């Protein structure tokens, strides 16, 4: 198939399948959406993951042809093409054939949802120090421990779990990656109250929870490598405009606010808006590069650049809106809906600075993997995890 033939096929398919009903579905908040027939149609047509082999729901397209598919979908603002998501992308990269046959289609169609069980109270920025334990017993693992800052834990069908399977190996070598069924007796989810008053994050406790041995992703003890791919997909999502929703550096929103406040001619405000617009455009170009690499089943440190840039965009917009509002930014409540929404945004944007690896962690990744600077020193990197300071300070139960 030539590029022109492919472009024509994609265009014709979108004309026949991207309906007004689909558009309305994606306008609704994500938490209110049910299963999307759109993703099933995408999968059946091969556009969901066109660069993957046909055996695994793809079309065997080249990188260049995958770009054509993405551009045609972007032209009509249709989502989902060449975008496997965190769970499916990770399973495709490291899962066994049996696990792929069992889980890929479910994740790609959103028939099965997944939350991320990584961070712990004593292992946030240093995820290699996780202490949640998965002990092999015959054909399954028994999981004990806890996780924190988990989005969607109350509604997810599965959890992408990072757990320690060997306490005598160095910390990066003794952890494994699993797909854990969430709806079972041994899993307890407790909502966390955010500074905004909402509860979008949770703490999750495991008490003899069970995960089948065939649900391990990759080899036992090789979970750190699997995690890097999963984190790359998450950072790609958080670095995209979609992650910021309405708060993704919308210049029209800032300009309207400035006009309403009579400050559209303020040169400092105009300069700050221009900086955010420029950063957003540059980030879009970087994220396009990262997305193209992810479509081929690989990860890229450029995703950390995108995530860090989106954090700056979101915080920058919040600061500009506060600057425009002036003293009115101190108002809130139902009597002041505009100011209340602005203050909510100023608090909410910290999610992007922390989730998926903090801004500081992204700077470390960029310095080491993009700029080629020396690694940060880790004194406990090569000793048995049982002997590390993390364990001595808080012994395992």
- Residue in 229, 218, 215, 223 with CA at minimum distance from that of residue 102: 215
Active-site annotation holder among 120, 203, 234, 317: 234
Location of structure tokens 């997944």 = 114
Q: Which helix (H) or strand (E) holds 275?
A: helix 267-295
The rounded distance, in Å, linking the Cα atoms of 200 and 210 is 25
The rounded distance, in Å, linking the Cα atoms of 98 and 208 is 25
Instruction: Give the total residue count for the chain.
Output: 397
Active site residue 55: no
**For the chain, give me the number of helices (H) and strands (E)?**
15, 7
- Residue in 109, 79, 83 with CA at minimum distance from that of residue 18: 79
The rounded distance, in Å, linking the Cα atoms of 291 and 278 is 20
- Residue in 241, 278, 238 with CA at minimum distance from that of residue 74: 241
Work out the end-to-end distance of the chain between its first and last CA atoms, rounded to an integer number of angstroms: 59
Tokens representing residue 3 in the block:
């590029």
The rounded distance, in Å, linking the Cα atoms of 164 and 206 is 13
Residues labelled as active-site residues = 234
């Amino acid at each position: 198939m030539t590029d022109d033939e492919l472009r024509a096929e994609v265009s014709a398919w979108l004309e026949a399948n991207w309906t007004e009903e689909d558009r309305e579905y994606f306008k609704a908040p994500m938490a209110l959406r049910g299963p999307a027939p759109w993703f099933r149609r995408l999968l059946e047509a091969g556009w969901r993951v066109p660069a993957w082999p046909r055996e695994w729901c793809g079309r065997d397209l080249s990188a260049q042809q995958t770009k054509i598919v993405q551009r045609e979908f972007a032209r009509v603002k249709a989502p989902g093409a060449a975008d496997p998501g965190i769970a499916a992308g990770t399973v495709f990269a490291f899962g066994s054939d049996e696990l792929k046959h069992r889980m890929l289609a479910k994740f790609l169609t959103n028939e099965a949802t997944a939350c991320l069980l990584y961070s712990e109270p004593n292992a946030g920025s240093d995820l290699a120090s996780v202490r949640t334990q998965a002990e092999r017993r015959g054909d399954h693992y028994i999981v004990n421990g806890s996780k924190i800052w988990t989005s969607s834990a109350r509604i997810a069908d599965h959890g992408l779990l990072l757990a320690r399977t060997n306490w005598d190996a160095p910390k990066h070598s003794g952890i494994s990656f699993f797909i854990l069924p969430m709806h079972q007796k041994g899993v307890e989810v407790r909502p966390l109250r955010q500074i905004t008053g909402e509860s979008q994050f949770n703490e999750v406790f495991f008490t003899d929870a069970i995960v089948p041995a065939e649900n391990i992703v990759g080899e036992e003890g090789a979970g750190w490598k699997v995690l890097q791919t999963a984190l790359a997909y998450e950072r790609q999502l958080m670095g995209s405009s979609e992650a910021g929703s309405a708060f993704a550096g919308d210049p029209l929103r800032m300009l309207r606010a400035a006009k309403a406040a009579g400050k559209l001619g303020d040169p400092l405000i105009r300069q700050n808006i221009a900086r955010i617009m420029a950063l957003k455009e540059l980030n879009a170009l970087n994220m396009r590069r990262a997305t193209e690499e992810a479509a081929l089943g690989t990860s890229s440190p450029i995703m950390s650049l995108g995530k860090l840039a989106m954090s700056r965009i979101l915080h920058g917009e919040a600061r500009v809106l506060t600057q425009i509002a002036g003293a009115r930014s101190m108002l809130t409540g139902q009597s002041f809906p505009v100011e209340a929404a602005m203050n909510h945004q100023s608090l909410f944007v910290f999610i992007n600075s922390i989730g998926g690896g903090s801004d500081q962690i992204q700077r470390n990744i960029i310095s080491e993997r993009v700029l080629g600077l020396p690694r940060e020193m880790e004194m406990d990197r090569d000793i048995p995890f049982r002997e590390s300071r993390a364990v001595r300070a808080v012994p395992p139960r």
